[in-house]
Structure 1
Amino acid sequence: MSRPAGCSTLSTHPPRPPNRMCRRRGTCPRPSATRTRRIRREPPLRRPAPTTQGSPECPGRAPTRPKRRPLRHTANRPARTGRIAAAPPHHRSLTWTWSFTTGRRAPVGPKERTTMRRSTTFTSIAVLAALGMSLTACSSSSSPKSSGSGGGSVAAETLYLEDNTGATAFTEDFNPFDGNSFGRTQNTDSLIYEPLLQYNTLNPTQAPTPWLADKIDWSSDGKTATIHLHAGVKWSDGSPLTSEDVAFTYQLVTDNAAANTQGVPKAASIATPDTSTVVLTFASPEMASAQAIGNQLIVQKKQWSAVSGPATAVIKASQAIGTGPYVVDAFAAQKVSYKANPAYWGGKPKVPEVAVANYASNDAATTALAQGQLDLAGNDINNVLTSFVAKDTQHNHLFQTDAPYFPAGNTVALLLNTKSPTAPALADVAVRKAVSAGIDRASMASQCETNYELPASSSGGLTLPLDQSSLNPATAKDLKPGSDASAVQSLLSADGYAKVGGKWTKGGKTISFTIIDPNSFTDYWCDAKAMQQTLNGLGFDVKVNGDMDYNGWNTAITTGKYDVALHWGQGTTAFQRLQFILDSTLTSPVGQPSAGDFSRYQSSAADAAVKQYQNATTPADQQTALNALQQELSTNVPAVPVLYGASWYEFSTANFTGWPTKDNAYVNPTPQDQSYEYMILHLTPVK
């Protein structure tokens, strides 16, 4: 990975022990791997056909090439909340949105759920059309190039991105610490706010890329991190970035647990010996948390020192001050656009605008993508080769050309709320183990995920093959792909349950719970119904509820007001993936938002293993802690590994080139990763 044009490179990097802890769509979430979602199918958007006599909307004006039909900028609508705080991830893990200027080429709509986060510039217009919004007939601004065009002299201006579908309306909130804000739910925070270092989560052994920091030096005992800031960085309001801003940010997140979505350890002291140096001193070794420290998005002290409740404060578009390559240009309930920051310290971005639009469902986003109205999406698309790639084989591409086409970037798990007042049976570990044994992972993978997401094989929770080097051998291949009725029978009978009327019953109560997943997440909804059918056939009493939008679902999970939910994993390292599930310091009482441990599971052994990893100074010590965490999840099952979540990523080269691929994996591209910004800065408009 390299700095954007105009930035100096670094010859040395801070040491990176393997599997070091690092959001998301965290965080120890972030929530950051993000997935597909669906709601109503919207009418397809179509670009006007080129004509020598002028466009259909403006007769007499001869367009140089077909363009995306612009949509009228509409008034704000009630907005929904966002995605679960991502673990230091899509992955991420954050996605970015870009500038939209009324009259310029407009974006189609935001994408369905993805598993990771990226930076992109879009103008959200076409999306509004898909949502039945009115169109603006004639635009006086330059017309963007349409996909499928083979030449021309007008470069594309707006990058259209779709990250998460199913929102009733966008919420005008750009708080990078709030898991329900627009930036977090659409993974676009990094377009505005930036980290100290950039990490390639597809290659954990790769040294981080210097960003706001030129380097972070660690003491030999792992107790001191010295941050050396890059010179010449300015906030979007024109003021310089200083060590005071960085020190303030770390103090803020460690003083406010709900805002600490990266899992940053608390420093015993924070010093700023000069304007470009920050020294974090810890009571115990914390080198294992180097990625969490490097991933932290930095905010301005002048602004945030006056903010009350940083994890929940609403930051309007006009208040979103950052160091990033983009600033918010326009906000509406159905679209958000970003424009390039003209004073960006890394040089003016080649992509002038980024737009994110609100698609009601995966189907709607898939239609727009296939018709060339999106440049980047992170959807689960059934039969992706015929539904997308074959529509324009010259320009429509995936990360890799061989099955399963998408790299595994997280572990999709069934979160079991151990503190649910409506499903008390879930507090029983035998019941949780029986649920894991009863589900049919292979059937869900083939019928609901088109085998793009494969059955989880390890109860330890790591993502395979990505985390193969960190796998605890004791948990390798211990999950059966199919339903195991005999194991369910054995577990529940030994726990005192007996079948009454075909249902497992103890003390007059059945094993009853409700799985929640928005029916707009077409694949997850299919998975939920498949689990309901299989488990009910084995004697459980399972219901499903999909009557909610993404925000409602996310809020229910983060506040603990649910029984069971299928959710993608969070985190960008093996440790973070486990920490997100097991670290009780990330959770809160039911009714209050939490940054992780959404199962409300509390275990002194798990917490001790988390601390052991954070204090480890050698790879061997880290692996010992990872083995303990995997064994804890396998033994007590607060979450059930179900599938290896795909890093959804579809892109078009019709308007922009420079996308990461399997052969050029310079960054994790899925629209749910904190490196979104990094990817967009590598793109070049097609002329």
Structure 2
Amino acid sequence: MFRRSPAPLRLLLGLTAATALAVSLAACAPGGDSGATASDADTLITVGGQGDMQINFNPFSPSSIGGVGTIYEPLFFINKVGDAEPEPLLGVDQSWNEDGTVYTVTVRDDVTWSDGEPFTAADVAFTFSMLKDNPSINNIGFDGEVAADGDSVAFTFDSPSYVKGPDILNTVIVPEHLWADVSPTEFLDEQPVGTGAFELADFKPQAFTLAANPDYWGGEPELKAIRYISLSGNQAQADALAAGTIDWQTSPVPDIQNVPDRYPGYVNVTANQNQTVLASCASAEMGCSGPQTDPAVRQALSLAINRDQVNALAFQNTSTDISPTFVLLANQEQWISPSVVDPVVPTTPQADQARALLEGAGWALGGDGIYAKDGERLSLGVEVVTGWTDYITTIDTIAAQAREAGIEVVPVQSSWNEWTDKKQRGNFELAIDSLAQGPAPDPYYVYNNFFATTVPVGESSGNNFSRYADPDVSAAVEALQALAFDDTAAREPLMATIQDRIVADLPYIPVLTAGTSSQWNVAKFDGWPTDDDLYAFPAVWSRLDSAEVFKKLSPTGE
């Protein structure tokens, strides 16, 4: 748990599939021969990328191909789909001082790097100092001071900073003795040396292998090797699943509700985390233009959506309900304010209510069945990336539904780069996207990332591409930064302020909470997460989570 000493604080926080047919290796890590060997039965095959992979195991590089969690470990593991306490990894204890300005982490004293050098608290202090000195890789925005003393590390901030704790715990640590003399922004780290349960065994552009670390502080894993192969997209991954030449992949597959029958030996597990939205360029004051700047239009479009139909047609019924507060219903529902009358958006359309809302805001129905106001038709373009078939189906479905409420919705397809640039610059009316969760299961992170601060149209917006600007929301988010996660009495009125505003304004129109689906080989390995025990977020690309899964797997011998 996150603690304020001395009292405890509970945290509320493309290749053919033939590549994968056989693997037999002797693992040679950078520190020497690990002595590890792996057979087909205890080698897990999964997806590493598409096309030729370029070697880069620098965990802070945006083009890193792997090693986060498996080779390089963080201080603690935080399960974002659960509500349990952070699980000790390189750290064994953590606590805040009374005013939330000093965060102290105690590290393990029995850990060695894979080259045999001892791991110490100095490595932790070095890692965070390095990030602070190199803003381009400082993805957590670490701005404190850090110092090691014996087996403890103190992170000191100018003001109360409880919400920064999860980012610190999630950051992987690198060895000072190897990284002190390299440029961390350019270093490709072709021979990674970490503390993790796995080591790099071999690398080729079409596949690379990690082998079990026999000297891992937590004990050598029963899973002896992980083989990452290159596959060219969802269809290639589904084909590999059907052929039985891959053990874990994360993407939609045909007939996802019947995976055990269609793909014998495999099961599907879906976790619902990221929230699918129609994001609006909402603020006329920030330079947005179009009908979507009217909150009544955003509310009416939300009421017009038949979410049950969208879920069936676009997502194979893998999505779940969504709250207009954007509190994740699965494990954060306790933070929804009692002042919110409808904490879950309706899954069936309310076209009559949508029409009444528009007419009350001065919109008049035109002869073509579409509302208009001051000579402007209620026609909204929705930006989407070409080839994103589930999102395109979503927009097409909503377009038919919205017309029943007198709203015209038009899909606008473009490349990923164009879509991203339009969002960042504010050159859009609506864009389909998702709001990602933060480093811990708490709604603060969604509010801070997507609602708190913004810039005028034309400037790069960062996460808040809706350009939503409400001073009361921004002030409440800032106040939350100074509060411990379990300070319920102080946090609740701030949550209420944020939620009352965003439910009324709806700058992001909620669609559904998207399901992330993985299929894995239960015939070959035991220990996978289940619907009843999601001990980690079940996505192979979520590297800190997948590393925890790998450590818990045991080969069945089949």
The TM-score, its normalising length taken from structure 2, stands at 0.80
User: What does the per-residue CA deviation read over 1:10-58, in whole Å, with 9 as the maximum and x for residues that have no partner?
Assistant: xx999443423xxxxxxxxxxxxxxxxxxxxx998479xxxxxxxxxxx
Task: Report 1:472-621 matches (<5 A).
Answer: 472-475=337-340, 476-477=342-343, 479-499=345-365, 501-506=368-373, 508-518=375-385, 520-536=387-403, 538-546=405-413, 548=415, 563-567=430-434, 569-571=436-438, 572-575=440-443, 576-584=445-453, 592=460, 594=462, 596-617=463-484, 618-621=487-490
Partner in structure 2 of residue 367 of structure 1: 239
After TM superposition, the structure 1 = structure 2 runs for residues 243-642 of structure 1, keeping only pairs within 5 Å, are 243-251=121-129, 259=137, 261-262=139-140, 266-267=143-144, 269-274=145-150, 276-300=151-175, 313=185, 315-316=187-188, 318=190, 322-328=194-200, 335=207, 337-341=209-213, 344-386=216-258, 388-391=259-262, 395-399=265-269, 406-418=270-282, 424-456=290-322, 458-475=323-340, 476-477=342-343, 479-499=345-365, 501-506=368-373, 508-518=375-385, 520-536=387-403, 538-546=405-413, 548=415, 563-567=430-434, 569-571=436-438, 572-575=440-443, 576-584=445-453, 592=460, 594=462, 596-617=463-484, 618-642=487-511
Q: Which residue among 42, 52, 71 is the counterpart of 1:192? A: 71
Q: Is 1:408–1:466's contact at 8 Å kept on the other side of the alignment?
A: no
Residue 223 of structure 1 pairs with residue 101 of structure 2: yes
C-alpha deviation, 1:534, in angstroms: 2.8
Q: How many residue pairs were aligned?
A: 535
Question: In 2 relative to 1, CA 581–343 (structure 1 residues): closer, same or farther, beyond 3 Å?
Answer: same
Q: Distance in 2 between matches of 1:255 and 1:381?
A: 43
Give the number of the structure whose residues are more often strand, by fraction.
2
TM-superposed CA distance for 1:528, in Å, is 2.5
CA gap 1:625/1:488 in 2 versus in 1, 3 angstroms = same
Rate the CA distance shift 1:321–1:104 in 2: closer, same or farther, 3 A: closer
User: Which residue does the alignment assign to 1:181?
Assistant: 63
d(CA) in 2 for partners of 1:439 and 1:469? 26
Following TM superposition, by how much is the alpha carbon of 1:680 offset from its aligned partner in structure 2, in angstroms? Answer: 0.5
Partner SS for 2:275: strand
In the alignment, which residue of structure 2 is the partner of 1:203? Answer: 82
Root mean square deviation of aligned Cα: 4.1
Equivalent residue, structure 2, for 1:675: 545
CA pair 69-219 structure 1, distance change in 2 beyond 3 A = same
What code does the residue aligned with 1:639 have? Y
Partner secondary structure for residue 459 of structure 1: coil
- Letter of the 1:636 counterpart: D
Contact in 1 for aligned 2:140/2:167 (Cα 8 Å): yes
Structure 2 runs not aligned, ≥5 long: 27-35
1:601-652 deviation line (CA, Å, top 9, x unaligned): 3333222222222212422223333333322321222212211222423221
Structure 1 residues 642, 499: CA separation in 2 closer, same or farther (over 3 Å shift)?
A: same
Contact 1:422 1:513 in 2 (8 A): no
Secondary structure (helix, strand or coil) at the match of 1:280 reads: strand
Give the conservation status (yes or no) of the 8 Å contact 1:270–1:279: yes
Please say if residues 44 and 367 of structure 1, whose CA atoms lie closer than 8 Å, have aligned partners that are also in contact: no
State the secondary structure of the residue aligned to 1:564. Answer: strand
- Aligned amino acid, residue 460 of structure 1: T
Amino acid in structure 1 at the alignment position of 2:272: A
C-alpha contact 1:503 1:540 (8 A) present in aligned 2: yes
Q: Which amino acid is the alignment partner of residue 682 of structure 1?
A: K
CA shift in 2, pair 1:182/1:560, >3 Å: farther
C-alpha separation in 2, matches of 1:294 and 1:560:
34
Letter in 2 for 1:573: P
Q: CA deviation at 1:552?
A: 7.1
Change (3 A) 1:294 1:329: same
2:518 maps to what in 1? 649
Identity %: 25
Higher mean C-alpha displacement, 429-438 vs 651-660: 429-438
Structure 1 residues 43, 447: closer, same or farther in 2, change over 3 A?
A: farther
Q: Identify which of 21, 29, 50 aligns with 1:69.
A: 21
1:19 corresponding residue in structure 2: 12
Greater Cα shift, 425-434 or 366-375: 425-434
Counterpart-to-counterpart distance in 1, 2:103 and 2:532:
34
Structure 1 residues 471 and 610, CA gap change in structure 2 (3 angstroms): same
**Cα distance, 1:196 vs structure 2:** 0.8
- The answer for unaligned runs of 5 or more in structure 1 is 2-11, 21-41, 48-67, 71-100, 106-140, 146-154, 400-405
